Amino acid sequence: MQLPREVLIGNGTIEQVVPICKKLGFLKSAFVVTGTQTFKIAGHRVIDLLEDSGIGVDRLFVSSSTVEEVAAVRARINETKPQVVLGVGGGTKIDVAKLSAAQQGTSFISVPTSASHDGIASPLASIKGSEKPYSVMAQAPMAIIADTNIIIQASHRYTASGCGDVIAKFTAVRDWHLAHKVKNEYYGEYAASLALMSAKLVAKNAESIRPGNEEGLRVLLEALISCGVAMSIAGNSRPSSGSEHLFSHVLDLVASKPAMHGEQVGVGTIMMASLHELNWRRIKSKLEKVGAPTTAEELGVELEDLIKSLVKARTIRPERYTILDQKRLTEKSAKVLAKKTGVI
C-alpha cells in the first residue's frame, strides 16, 4: 500500500511547496512538469518559490497525455536525475508527470489546478495512444498540494466533471461487489466504503458545489483525494471505476468529440445505476444540481455513438466483470435504457 504522506487542501497552500519538499527530504533538485496555461496559473509560482529557496529547478511544458510526452519527460528525468517531479496543472500534466516519474523510480508531488477527476491523487495514470484505453498503475503521489484559491478560478465545468467522477463510485463499488460475488474477485471493504462515502458526501453537498463556493470545492477535493486513496488501498482502480467508466472509455474512442472524463462517467452512472436497480433519479438530480451534463445532447455526443458505447462497453476490458456482463446490452436494450433514464 502506497499512500500520500502530505495532503494540503486550502486557500494559499501553494505557498507551502518548499516546506513540503524540505520535509520530504527534497533539498537539492526538482523537476516541474506543467502546461503553458497552467504555468501562468500556478507553475510559475511553484518554480519561483523552489528557486528562491535554493532548490535547483528544471521544467518541461507538456500539452497532452500521450506516450510521446511521457517518453520526453522520462528522458529528461533520466538526464537530469531530479530528486522529485512535480506535476502542476490539470489532469493531463499530472498524469504525464506521475507516470514518467514512476517509470524512472522518482518521487512525485501532485499540484492540481482543477478538480476534474480523481487522478489528482490516485496511483493510476491515463495515457492516450497506449494499448490500453484506460488508466494504468503508476504510483501514488508523495504529496498533494491543492490550493483552493487557484482551483476555484478554473471553469466550473471542471468542478462539475469532478463531481461526476466521484458520483460514479455509487455504481463502481456495486460492480466491484458483484465481481466479488460472481467471480470471487478480491473485494476490500475498507476501500469500497471509502469510495462510497466520498460519493455520498458529494451528493449530500451538491447544493454547495457551485461556481465560486470554496466550501463546496473543499468537499469535492477531499472526496477526489479519498477516492485516490481508496485505489491505493485496493491496489487497483476497482473502488473508483466500474461499468460507468467502461462506457466512458468506449465513448472516448468512438465519439468524434468526446466530453470530459467526469462528465461522461457521470452520465454513465445514471444508466448503470438503473441496471443495478439503484435510485438513478437521485443520481441524475445530484448531477443536475452541480451543473454536470445528464444527457447525450449536453455531452455533445451523437446518439449512435452513445448507444454503440453502451453495447461495446463490456468488451473493452474483458477481465473487469461488471453489471454489463450480466445484462449484455444489445442495440435495442441499450436504447431502451438510455430512453428510460432520459439520457436520449
**Binding positions for Zn ion, rule: CB under 5 A:** 165
Q: Which is nearer to Zn ion, 39 or 134 (CB)?
A: 134
Q: Which is nearer to Zn ion, 95 or 165 (CB)?
A: 165
Q: Which is nearer to Zn ion, 216 or 262 (CB)?
A: 262
Q: Which is nearer to Zn ion, 7 or 125 (CB)?
A: 125
User: Minimum distance from CB of 237 to Zn ion (Å)?
Assistant: 8
Q: Are 4 and 109 in contact (CB under 8 A)?
A: no
User: Minimum distance from CB of 166 to Zn ion (Å)?
Assistant: 9
d(CA 300, CA 319): 30
Question: How far is Cα of residue 153 from the mean position of the Cα atoms in its chain?
Answer: 19
**If we measure between CA atoms, which residue out of 314, 8, 15 comes closest to residue 175?**
314
User: Minimum distance from CB of 172 to Zn ion (Å)?
Assistant: 8
Q: Which is nearer to Zn ion, 69 or 165 (CB)?
A: 165
User: Minimum distance from CB of 270 to Zn ion (Å)?
Assistant: 15
Beta-ladder partners of 58: 31
**Shortest Cβ contact with Zn ion: which residue?**
165
User: Minimum distance from CB of 325 to Zn ion (Å)?
Assistant: 20
Angle in degrees, 0-180, between the axes of helices 67-80 and 91-103, rounded to the nearest 10: 50
Q: Are 141 and 4 in contact (CB under 8 A)?
A: yes
